[in-house]
Chains A and B, each alone.
Chain A
Amino acid sequence: MLSRVADSLYWMSRYLERAENTARQLDVTMSLMLDTAGASAESRWRRLVAALGDSMGLDWNNDLDSMAHSLVFDHLNPASVTYTVNAARENARQVREEISTEQWQRLNRLYHQIHSPHSLSQSRSNMADVLTSLVDGIHLFKGVTDTTMIHGQGWHFIRLGRYLERAYATATLLEVFQPDLLQASEHDDTGYQYLEQVGLLRCCTAFEAYCQVYTADLSPDRILEFLLLNRDFPHSIRYSVEGIRQAVTAIQNTGARRPSDDLTAGIGRLHAMLDFTSIAEILAGDSARFLHAIREQCLHIHELIYSYYVHYSIQSALAI
C-alpha cells in the first residue's frame, strides 16, 4: 500500500483513540469533581491536563464549564476532542478510497455530531451526555472498521495506531496518577480514596473488568498491576503492546520486504519488559521511571515504523 496512505490510516486511528481518551478522562474528572472534599477541583483539573500531555491553553481559570467547553469544542486547541476528530476525519478524507463507505459515514456522522449546534447547547446543560455519545460514536466507528474493512495492511496500520496511542496514553495517565495512588493510606473509611481509585480505573474503562479479576477490593498495587500488566484486558499496557506486536508482525508478513531488524528488536524489548517484570519488582524500583521508559520506547517504535515504511530513502529502496 502507498506509504502516504498507511501514514494517514495510522494517524486517523491515533487521533480517534486520542479523542476517545480525552472525552472519557474529562467525563471521569468532572464526575470526581462533584465530591469536593477529596481534592480541590483545581488539582484535579491540573492532573487531567497533565495526563492528556500538558497541552497549552488549558490552564485553570476557575470556570470549569468554560474550560471543559474548550477541551471539547475548541477546534484550534490540539488537545480538544473537536480538533482530534477533525484531524481524524481529515486523514480519513485523504484515504477515502481505502476505507469502507460505512467507516466514512460513521466518521462523518461523528464529525457532524460534534459540530452540530445541538451538541453545543446540550453541553451547557449536560456535558456528560455529550461526551458519552461522542465515545459511543467512536466505538461504533471501531466496530464498523473491524466488520467492514478488509483485514489487510491498512487495517493493521489502523490497529497499530490505536494500540500505540493507547499504550502511550495509559502510561502517561499512570505516570501522573501514581504519586497519588501510592500515597493512599491502607485504611480509608471516608470513601474519597475509593472514588479516586475508581476514577482512575474508569479512565481506562477498567472498573468492571478489575472487579471481575480482583473483586471490588481496590488496592494501589493491584490497580497498577491490572492497568500495566494484565494480559487480557484491552486497555492495559501489556495488552496494547501485544496489539502493536501483532499488527507489526502482520504488516511484515503481508509485505515482500525482509522485516526490519530494528523494529522487531524495538517492539520485542518493550514486550519482554512487560512480560518479564512483576508488579512487586516495579513497585520496589522506581515505578515512575518504569512508566516513563514505556513512553520513550513507544516513541522509539513510532520512529522506527516511520523510517521503515513511510520516510525511507529512494536509494535504500532501489538497492533492494
Chain B
Amino acid sequence: MNPGKPVEVDALFGDYPLDQAYDEMRERSGAMRSTYQTLAETLSRLPREELQRRKQSAELSFLTQGITFTVYGREEGTERIFPYDLLPRLVTAQEWSRIERGLTQRIIALNLFLRDVYSEGKILNDRVVPRELVYSCKHFRRQMRGLQVPRNVYIAVVGTDLLRVRSGEFVVLEDNLRVPSGVSYMLANRRVMKRTFPQLFQSYGVRPIEHYPQLLLSTLRSLAPEGRPEPNIVLLTPGVFNSAYYEHTYLARQMGIDLVEGRDLVTHDNIVYMRTTDGLKRVDVIYRRVDDDFSDPLIFRGDSALGCAGLFNAYRAGNVTVTNAFGTGLADDKALYAYVPRIIRYYLGEDAVLPNVETYLLTDEKERRHVLANLDKLVVKAVGESGGYGMLIGPHATIKQREEFARQIETHPRNYIAQPTLDFSRAPCLIGDRLEPRHVDLRPYILFGDKVNIVPGGLTRVALEKGSLVVNSSQGGGSKDTWVLDSR
C-alpha cells in the first residue's frame, strides 16, 4: 500500500502511553507491529468525519437490529446496545494455531475430568485433585453420579477467557463450562465490520466465523439420544427478561430450531414434550441456556418457574439430551482451576499448551497468609461467581474494601482464590476521534460433539473505561471484532 508515501500515523494517537503491558498494535519502542501496518495506514488516510460516520452507521445498525442487552433495575431504557469498538483486533495464524491446540487439549481433559468425577473418581483416588475441593464445590451435582451422558460429552459448548500477558503469550484466565454467552456478539461484530471496512477486511485475509451456528447445530445433533435419527432440537431460554435473550433468539433463528421456555415444555412418562399448535411434540435435544439451579424444580431449586418439572428424570432415563450437562460448573470452579494443568497431565500425559494464571488457594494455610499480607497487589475472586461480580482488584480497592475481603477470606477460605494483578494486553480503540489503548481479553468459543471445533476468532472484550481491568458487559465493557488471519 503506497510504501513510498509517508503516512501521518502518529497524528491518529490520542493519549497513548506505552508501559509494561503488551500492546497489541505497537512495540515497546512505539513502532507499529507489522500486522497492524495496513490498518494504521487505512485509518490515517480516512478523513476524521468519515471515521465518525462509519462509527455512527455501525451503531445504528446495532440498534435497529435490536442487538441489545438488558440492564436491570431501570424502568425506562432497559435495553442498551452492547458498546462496540470500530477497530478489529488482529491475531496471527501462528498465534491462533497455538490457541487452538491449547483449547482443544484443555476441553478434552476437562471433559474427561467431569466424566471421571461423576463416575469412578479415579483422579480423586489418586489424590491428584483433593476430594474435598470437589465435594465442597457449589456446582457439584450429586444427582449426576453414575449417569451415562451421550458420547460422554458433558461440555458441548464452552467459552474460555484468554489474556495476553507481558511476554505476548496467551494464558487462560477462566473456563466457562455452564452457559457461556456472547457468541452472537462475535457474529454481529463480524457482520458490521464487513460492512464498515470492506476493503480492509479483504486485504487482510480473515478466516471466516460465520458458520458457527451450523457447527453448533451439528454438534447438538451428534448428541441426540440413540434411536432418534431426526431429533427435535430446541434451545431452552429463561425468557425475554434474561440479559442474553437476544442471543438465544439469534442462535435459534440461525439454526432453524425452536426457542422454548420452561412453560412450553411438559413431561409425561419421562418424555419431554413441547406444546405446539399441533398438539404435543417430543423433544430430543435441549441446548440449555438456563442454569442448573433453575432447570427442574423437582430436583434443583423448587422455587424456579423457568425450568420444566420432570426434565431431569427424563434426562436420566436417556430420553432427552440436555447440554451442557448438569454439574459442569464443577470444572470451572475458580479453585479447581488451579488444578487444570495437573488434570491435563493426568488424563492426557501432556503439559498444558496454554498456561494458567498463577493462583493462590486460600484453603492452604501458607498461601492464605501470603495473600492476606499482599491484598493490595492481588486480585481476589469469589469461586462460584461470574460476570465480574464478587471481585476485589487489590491495587484499585479502598482500604475498607480490602478489610472487608480479608474478613470474608478468613471466614470462608474455600469461597475465594487470589491471583496476581495482571497487566494484560491493550489494544487501540477509537475514543472520540483518536486511538487510545484499552485492556482486552479474548473469549473463543469451543464446540464439542463428535469432535472439537473452534471457529477462528472469538469475542474480544474491551474494558472501555480508561485504565479499567474489567471487561464484563455488566460492568461497562464493550467488544471488538477479532480477525484471525489466514497464513498466506
Find B260's partner among A2, A101, A251, A257 (CB 8 Å cutoff): A2
Does residue A320 face the partner (Cβ distance < 8 Å to B)?
Answer: yes
Taking CB atoms, residues of chain A closer than 8 Å to B250 are 96-97
Residues 280-319 of A at the B interface (beta carbon under 8 Å): 309-310, 312, 314, 317-318
Find A97's partner among B252, B264, B266 (CB 8 Å cutoff): B252
Q: How far is the CA of A240 from the CA of B141 in the complex (A)?
A: 56
B289 to chain A, nearest CB (A): 13
Taking CB atoms, residues of chain A closer than 8 Å to B230 are none
Are B280 and A96 closer than 8 Å at their CB atoms?
no
B243 to chain A, nearest CB (A): 13
The stretch of A44-52, A103-111, A179-187, A205-213 in contact with B is: A103-111
Scoring B residues 233 to 277 as 1 if CB is less than 8 Å from chain A, else 0, what string do you get? 000000110000110011011000011110110101000001111
Taking CB atoms, residues of chain A closer than 8 Å to B276 are 1-3
Taking CB atoms, residues of chain B closer than 8 Å to A3 are 264, 275-277
Does residue A37 face the partner (Cβ distance < 8 Å to B)?
Answer: no
Taking CB atoms, residues of chain A closer than 8 Å to B9 are none
Residues 46-97 of B at the A interface (beta carbon under 8 Å): 63-66
Closest-by-CB residue of A relative to B256 is A97
Q: How far is the CA of A306 from the CA of B277 in the complex (A)?
A: 10
B246 to chain A, nearest CB (A): 7
Are A2 and B258 closer than 8 Å at their CB atoms?
yes
Known contacts A2-B260, A4-B275; 14 additional CB pairs below 8 A are A1-B278, A2-B258, A2-B264, A2-B277, A93-B249, A94-B240, A97-B249, A108-B63, A256-B278, A257-B278, A257-B279, A314-B268, A317-B275, A318-B268
Taking CB atoms, residues of chain B closer than 8 Å to A97 are 249-250, 252-253, 258-259
Q: How many B residues have CB within 8 A of the partner chain?
A: 27
Does residue A151 face the partner (Cβ distance < 8 Å to B)?
Answer: no
Q: What are 24 A-to-B residue pairs whose CB atoms are below 8 Å?
A: A1-B258, A1-B276, A1-B278, A2-B276, A3-B264, A4-B263, A4-B275, A90-B240, A94-B239, A96-B249, A97-B252, A97-B258, A97-B259, A105-B64, A105-B66, A108-B65, A112-B64, A251-B277, A314-B268, A317-B275, A317-B279, A317-B280, A318-B280, A320-B279
Are A1 and B277 closer than 8 Å at their CB atoms?
yes
Closest-by-CB residue of B relative to A308 is B277
Closest-by-CB residue of B relative to A156 is B277
Scoring A residues 89 to 123 as 1 if CB is less than 8 Å from chain B, else 0, what string do you get? 01001111110010011001100100000000000
Taking CB atoms, residues of chain B closer than 8 Å to A105 are 64-66
Closest-by-CB residue of B relative to A316 is B279
Question: At the interface, is chain B mostly helix, strand, loop or mixed?
Answer: mixed
Taking CB atoms, residues of chain B closer than 8 Å to A112 are 63-64
Are A2 and B253 closer than 8 Å at their CB atoms?
no
Residues 147-206 of A at the B interface (beta carbon under 8 Å): 153
Most buried by A among B65, B253, B263: B253
B419 to chain A, nearest CB (A): 38
B185 to chain A, nearest CB (A): 16
Q: How far is the CA of A97 from the CA of B254 in the complex (A)?
A: 8
With A3-B264, A93-B240, A96-B246 in contact, do A255 and B66 touch (Cβ < 8 Å)? no
Taking CB atoms, residues of chain B closer than 8 Å to A4 are 261, 263-264, 275
Are B264 and A101 closer than 8 Å at their CB atoms?
no
Does residue A23 face the partner (Cβ distance < 8 Å to B)?
Answer: no
Find A104's partner among B66, B259, B261 (CB 8 Å cutoff): B66
Q: How far is the CA of A317 from the CA of B250 in the complex (A)?
A: 30
Q: How far is the CA of A310 from the CA of B263 in the complex (A)?
A: 12
Q: How far is the CA of A204 from the CA of B249 in the complex (A)?
A: 36
Are A108 and B66 closer than 8 Å at their CB atoms?
yes
Taking CB atoms, residues of chain A closer than 8 Å to B264 are 2-4
Q: How far is the CA of A98 from the CA of B259 in the complex (A)?
A: 9
Q: How far is the CA of A36 from the CA of B481 in the complex (A)?
A: 61
Are B278 and A255 closer than 8 Å at their CB atoms?
yes
Q: How far is the CA of A257 from the CA of B277 in the complex (A)?
A: 9
Does residue A6 face the partner (Cβ distance < 8 Å to B)?
Answer: yes
Q: How far is the CA of A317 from the CA of B281 in the complex (A)?
A: 10
B76 to chain A, nearest CB (A): 9
Q: How far is the CA of A98 from the CA of B66 in the complex (A)?
A: 15
Scoring A residues 28 to 63 as 1 if CB is less than 8 Å from chain B, else 0, what string do you get? 000000000000000000000000000000000000
Q: How far is the CA of A108 from the CA of B276 in the complex (A)?
A: 27
Taking CB atoms, residues of chain B closer than 8 Å to A93 are 66, 240, 245, 249
Q: How far is the CA of A320 from the CA of B276 in the complex (A)?
A: 14
B210 to chain A, nearest CB (A): 15
Are A96 and B278 closer than 8 Å at their CB atoms?
no
Are B64 and A255 closer than 8 Å at their CB atoms?
no
Are A6 and B277 closer than 8 Å at their CB atoms?
yes
Are B277 and A96 closer than 8 Å at their CB atoms?
no
Most buried by A among B246, B258, B259: B259
Q: How far is the CA of A255 from the CA of B258 in the complex (A)?
A: 17
Q: How far is the CA of A250 from the CA of B40 in the complex (A)?
A: 58
Q: How far is the CA of A57 from the CA of B200 in the complex (A)?
A: 57
Taking CB atoms, residues of chain B closer than 8 Å to A257 are 278-279
Taking CB atoms, residues of chain B closer than 8 Å to A309 are 277
Are B65 and A101 closer than 8 Å at their CB atoms?
yes
Closest-by-CB residue of A relative to B260 is A2
Taking CB atoms, residues of chain A closer than 8 Å to B252 are 97
Q: How far is the CA of A256 from the CA of B280 in the complex (A)?
A: 11
Q: How far is the CA of A104 from the CA of B263 in the complex (A)?
A: 24
B237 to chain A, nearest CB (A): 10
Taking CB atoms, residues of chain A closer than 8 Å to B275 are 2-4, 312, 317
Taking CB atoms, residues of chain A closer than 8 Å to B258 are 1-2, 5, 97
Taking CB atoms, residues of chain B closer than 8 Å to A1 are 258, 276-278
A72 to chain B, nearest CB (A): 17
Q: How far is the CA of A6 from the CA of B277 in the complex (A)?
A: 7
B65 to chain A, nearest CB (A): 7
A127 to chain B, nearest CB (A): 23
